[in-house]
Structure 1
Amino acid sequence: MAEAVLISNLTQEWVESLRRWHLEYFFIPTTVITLASFLANPVLLACIFLSRALRQETRYLLVANTLTADMLFLVLNLATVICNAAQAQMPWLVCELLTAVSVSAYCCAILTVTLMVVDTYAAVRWPLHYHDILPPARTHRILAGVWVLSAVYPFTLLIMMKVGRENPHEKMAVCLVLISLGFIQVNMTGIHIYFFVTALICTVLILYCYVRLYMVTRTQGIWQSRFSRARVTLLVHGVLLLLYFTPGFVFILELALFQREDISQDVRVWINTINMCVFMVLPRAFAPYLYGLRYRELSDTLMQLLHQHRRLSQITV
């Protein structure tokens, strides 16, 4: 009962801080960035799934999985931001379910982006055996495992909170992942370990693959030109990885600040709002456009589909 009162007071203070600084207007850039992503994501997914050749390629299956996870995250994030901005109270159980699915989708995207780097390394390191190592059927099983792995811990926490909650139908003034996870005192260490260790393992794996890729290909002359395809690809993927990982590290910082009483509530609200409304959605807006520029087969398929659509339109007219 005491925890429920504490959460209620905190959410009310959070709403007052949002109103005082007019941070509810951050839903505008969130909406714009989300719409920009939704203009491109379905198009790229259609290109991948309508092309039999692309559906057989591991890298494009990884791209499709990333885009799918991003779209799910964007929908849930935008719904949460709009509800918070409109001060619409949400049942506790619905909020926790949104939190679990959002965390699962975010983690799935991070893991899949990491696998994309590993896939590139495998293709360069073992070109003759690459298709035997990662056939489409095995890739499908790996992606299913990624979704399960991403969802296990968030939904385990959801069940733990559901069991320990006295009134699951109680409504909350704001629905935030930070508040939901910040009050799981019995497993706070596990939450820090889950986010930090996952981010650390992915970062180390990505750095290892890139270093090994450079060592394997440095004698082939693909790095000599300042604007070589290898350098541009590395730059694009590096920027994208930075955009994907930065919000996760900021969220780890948020969890740490949430436990400290000497930190102003306004500071917590500002950091959380910027991270939730800008940092977390930016990579998902850039990703489809960068993927479309990076993969020639994908851009070629897109141009073919547009050309076919134009021809059908001319025939119809």
Structure 2
Amino acid sequence: MDISGCASVRRSNATVRRLREIEFNSSSGLDDTTLYFLLEELALTPSGTNMKMFLISPVVCLMAGVLIIPTILFVIFSRFNIRQETRYMLLGNALLSDLIYLLFYTLSAALNAAHLHFPKEACVLLLFLLAVAYCGGLFTAVAIVLDTYVAILFPLRYITILPPSRTKKIIVLLWMCSGAFPGIFFLVLWSTHTFVPCVLETCSVPVILILTLNGTDALKLCFWLSATVIFLCLSVIFCCYAILYFKTKHSGIWESICSRASVTFLMHNTVLFFYFFPLLALFVESFLCVNVLIKLQTGILVSLTVCNVLMIIPKVLFPFLYGLRYREISASLKSIVRRKQLRMVSPAPPPS
């Protein structure tokens, strides 16, 4: 790691810093070298108040996720009849991915807010784990929609198409793809030496995203390939839901707005909207920032909002709006609560 280079940035005097702030707040005229230097300085000297405010959402969402996600996972894996069903295995896999993402991202945000610096290898490992967890949740969301598609349109052949043994293999395949997809990108970036030491030392995901779009061709290629994969996942989900709606609109399940099918459909689309809207906002902000239509500082603030708020909230909404909609899971949770209440009530003493 280039420790001396990072230290020289920290020792910049006030006059030079003021000139950089003027340059930073301008909306044009930044070459690649200046952009790297400004973003490195931003990563090394962030506003403590702003960073702590952006830390609130990850911490609150992690606390809520830790309370509900392990409980649902316990219900799924402790009941044989539940863990043998494809939809519950996929649900458990999605919840596990979301919990891992919440843990690692909150750890990263907390360390950044505390101004603690990473070894370069630790930052790369953390970014890789975040990418694997996020890809795992994204690919599992697509698998859940495909499972619903097969269950509704091919109910008599559903067990033959997706038996429990095949579902387990699909889950293993999902994790392999989740590790291989970001792994290839990280190997490309590592081989081309496009990581920035000072930024990796701080390991700020929003800053690294901005650098990705203003970096080398390899970085830009990785970013836009990721955007393409996400767009394909969204297209598959949208097509499946559209086909399901047109295939079942004459069956009578959509007649009432308050019917279970309508409410479930609305819940699923709400969760998916919260999953993909932050990515859309991030791509729009990235396009505007690359084309110098917004200030660099504005782009950083938008990236912080998207990464620390909009991309975290769906991870907590998913178990509440999606997981608890299943009757078996909600019934199991209620039975667990009742047992605890009965154990807490001591028996009355016998009459003397």
Q: 1:233 corresponds to which residue?
A: 264
TM normalised by structure 1 equals: 0.89
After TM superposition, give the deviation of residue 303 of structure 1 in Å.
1.2
Q: 1:152 to 1:252 in 2, by over 3 A?
A: farther
What residue in structure 2 maps to residue 152 of structure 1?
180
- Percent identical: 29
Aligned to 2:315: 284
1:189 and 1:163, CA in 2 relative to 1: closer, same or farther beyond 3 A?
A: closer
Aligned pairs, number? 316
> SS of the counterpart of 1:226?
coil
Question: Retained in 1: the 8 A contact 2:194–2:216?
Answer: no
The answer as to whether partners of 1:15 and 1:174 remain within 8 angstroms in 2 is no
Q: Is residue 91–residue 168 contact of structure 1 (8 Å, CA) maintained in 2?
A: no
Is 1:59 paired with 2:90?
A: no
Could you tell which deviates more after superposition, 227-236 or 96-105? Answer: 96-105
SS in 2 for 1:44: helix
Return the structure number with greater relative CO, CA threshold 8 A, min gap 6: 1
Give secondary structure in 2 for the equivalent of 1:89.
Answer: coil
| Mean Cα deviation higher: 25-34 or 238-247 | 25-34
Q: Is the 8 A contact 1:24 1:84 kept in 2?
A: no
Within the candidate set 94, 102, 106, 1:78 is matched to 106
Structure 2 CA distance for aligned equivalents of residues 51 and 137 of structure 1: 17
Pick the aligned partner of 1:197 from 217, 221, 228.
Answer: 228
Contact kept in structure 2, 1:25 and 1:85, CA below 8 Å: no
The 2-side partners of 1:220 and 1:117 are apart by: 20
Q: Tell me the residue number matched to 1:214.
A: 245
1:156-209 deviations in Å (ceiling 9; x for gaps):
222233344499987623432415644662423432442222222222212221
Contact 1:93 1:168 (8 Å CA) reproduced: no
1:11 corresponding residue in structure 2: 40
Deviation at 1:257, TM superposition (A): 4.6
What stretches of structure 2 of length at least 5 have no aligned partner?
6-31
* Cα offsets for 1:42-97 (capped at 9, x unmatched): 00000100111110111111110110000111111101111111111112221121
CA RMSD in angstroms, aligned pairs only: 2.8
CA shift, 1:291, in A, is: 2.4
CA contact (8 A) 2:59 2:106 kept: yes
Instruction: After the TM superposition, list the runs of 4 or more consecutive aligned residues in structure 1 that deviate by more than 4 angstroms.
Output: 1-9, 166-171, 312-317
Taking the aligned partners of 1:108 and 1:271, their CA distance within structure 2 comes to: 25
Report the TM-score, using the length of structure 2 for normalisation. Answer: 0.81
Give the gaps of 5 or more residues in structure 1: none
- The answer for the alignment partner of 2:22 in structure 1 is none
Which stretch shows the higher mean deviation, 272-281 or 186-195? Answer: 186-195
Task: Name the SS for the 1:219 alignment partner.
Answer: coil
Distance (whole Å) between structure 1 residues aligned to residue 129 and residue 58 of structure 2? 19
1:145-184 equivalences under 5 Å are 145-165=173-193, 172-176=201-205, 177-178=208-209, 181-182=212-213
Report whether the alignment pairs 1:132 with 2:160: yes
Contact 1:49 1:55 in 2 (8 A): yes
Paired amino acid for 2:146: V
Task: Determine the C-alpha separation between the residues in 2 that align with 1:166 and 1:152.
Answer: 20
Is residue 245 of structure 1 aligned with residue 242 of structure 2? no
The AA in structure 2 aligned to 1:136 is P
Provide the residue aligned with 2:9 in structure 1: none
Verify the 8 A CA contact 1:89 1:172 in the aligned structure 2.
yes
Output one character per residue of 1:110-166: Cα deviation in whole Å (capped at 9) or x when no partner: 111121111111101111110111011111111111111122132222223334449
The answer to whether residue 315 in structure 2 is matched with residue 274 in structure 1 is no
87, 105, 113: which is aligned to 2:141? 113
- Give the 3 Å change call, closer, same or farther, for CA 128–165 of structure 1 in structure 2: same
